[in-house]
Amino acid sequence: GWGFRLLCVITLTAGTAFIMWLGEQITEYGIGNGISLIIFAGIVAGMPGAIVNTLRLMSAGEMSLFKILVLVVLMVGVVAVIIFFERAQRRIPVQYAKRVVGRKMYGGTSTHLPLKLNTSGVIPPIFASSIIMFPATIANFINIPWIKKVANAVNPGQPIYIVLYVGFIIFFCYFYTAIVFNPVDVADNMKKYGGFIPGIRPGKKTADYIDKVLSRITFWGALYVSAVCVLPTLLIKYFNVPFYFGGTALLIVVGVAIDTIAQIESHMLTRHYEGFLKRGSKGRR
């Protein structure tokens, strides 16, 4: 009845609010992105059961050893592709002008501005799948024929699902990149400390150039994310194996693991230098 439906809505809303709060606490006081780590933990926790189910299918004769080997090779290949593209960067050369402060000269060095191919990370496929799953969620609570038709049309593996999934991934790649990376702020900071890109005027021209380069690599990054999420899923659909071996799950697991390891290394390096400075200050005393 409607009482049960209302209770389900309240429970799901309260659970979502709690998960969001918990993710924010992890992000603020822990290491890595909280929501991504929670999703990462959920996928990893389900993988042993998925492996057992796959082996059970093989023992029952529903899957051959050849298909298992093809699946393993496919997974290893997808993981290798994810690691390669997640570490890929476009490095923009940056030079710093020499400055004289008192009797000392500063600057005159050359460095680079690293722009990741996939700046948005694993957020686009998460958002895209959540939006596409919304009609199916509504159809479970409301018995309206046209909503059920829409829900059936956007089931995973259907042509409409694939088109919408790729479209939402590309959109959220650009959208989330614009949120986490601001070319104007980067250009202003470079100008403030005497940095410039060779051949590009500091200020607005630099911001426009960075935005142009970022838009180009984001396009290729969006295509890479779409391919990783869609192509393995289409192949795995014919093998009848669990979701946990799909491209989206592997992208989330590998992407979150790489980002978390990078942040741990950054924290360890910071603590190392802090300890070094403290020991140095004690030695001078």
The domain that contains 153 carries what CATH number? 1.10.3370.10
> Does residue 164 fall inside a structural domain?
yes
> Is the CA virtual torsion 140, 146, 149, 154 positive or negative?
negative
pLDDT band, residue 276 (cuts 50/70/90): very low
Q: What is the layout of strands, in order, in the sheet containing 89-96?
A: 110-116, 89-96, 195-196
Q: How far apart are CA 24 and CA 34, in angstroms?
A: 6
The pLDDT assigned to 167 comes to: 93
Q: 61 or 7: whose pLDDT is higher?
A: 7
The pLDDT assigned to 240 comes to: 63
Q: Is 210 exposed, middle or buried (0-12, 13-18, 19+ CB in 10 A)?
A: buried
Q: Is the pLDDT of residue 47 over 60?
A: yes
Q: Is the pLDDT of residue 19 over 80?
A: yes
Q: How far apart are CA 226 and CA 96, in angstroms?
A: 38
> Does residue 251 fall inside a structural domain?
yes
The pLDDT assigned to 158 comes to: 79
Q: How far apart are CA 228 and CA 81, in angstroms?
A: 8
> Does residue 44 fall inside a structural domain?
no
Q: How far apart are CA 115 and CA 148, in angstroms?
A: 43
> Does residue 58 fall inside a structural domain?
no
Mean pLDDT is lowest, of 47-51, 130-134, 234-238, 275-279, for 275-279
Using alpha carbons only, give the angle 242, 245, 247 rounded to the nearest 5 degrees.
125
Q: What's the rounded mean pLDDT across residues 46-65?
A: 80
The pLDDT assigned to 238 comes to: 67
Q: For residue range 215-269, what is the model confidence (pLDDT) as tens digits?
A: 999 999 999 999 988 877 776 666 666 555 677 788 888 888 888 888 888 777 7
pTM: predicted TM-score of the whole model, two decimal places: 0.78
Question: Residue 278 corresponds to which amino acid?
Answer: K
> Does residue 189 fall inside a structural domain?
yes
Contacts 24+ apart (CB under 8 A), 75-79: 75/232, 75/245, 75/250, 78/228, 78/232, 78/247, 78/250, 79/250, 79/254
Q: For residue range 161-204, what is the model confidence (pLDDT) as tens digits?
A: 888 999 999 999 999 999 988 999 989 988 888 888 888 888 88
Give me the domain span that covers residue 184: 82-284
> Does residue 255 fall inside a structural domain?
yes
> Does residue 102 fall inside a structural domain?
yes
Both tokens assigned to 123: 């957020």
> Does residue 31 fall inside a structural domain?
no
Q: Is 272 exposed, middle or buried (0-12, 13-18, 19+ CB in 10 A)?
A: exposed
Distances (CA, A) of 150 to 132, 142, 153, 161, 207: 10, 13, 5, 10, 43
Give the total number of structural domains in the chain: 1
Q: Is the pLDDT of residue 283 over 80?
A: no
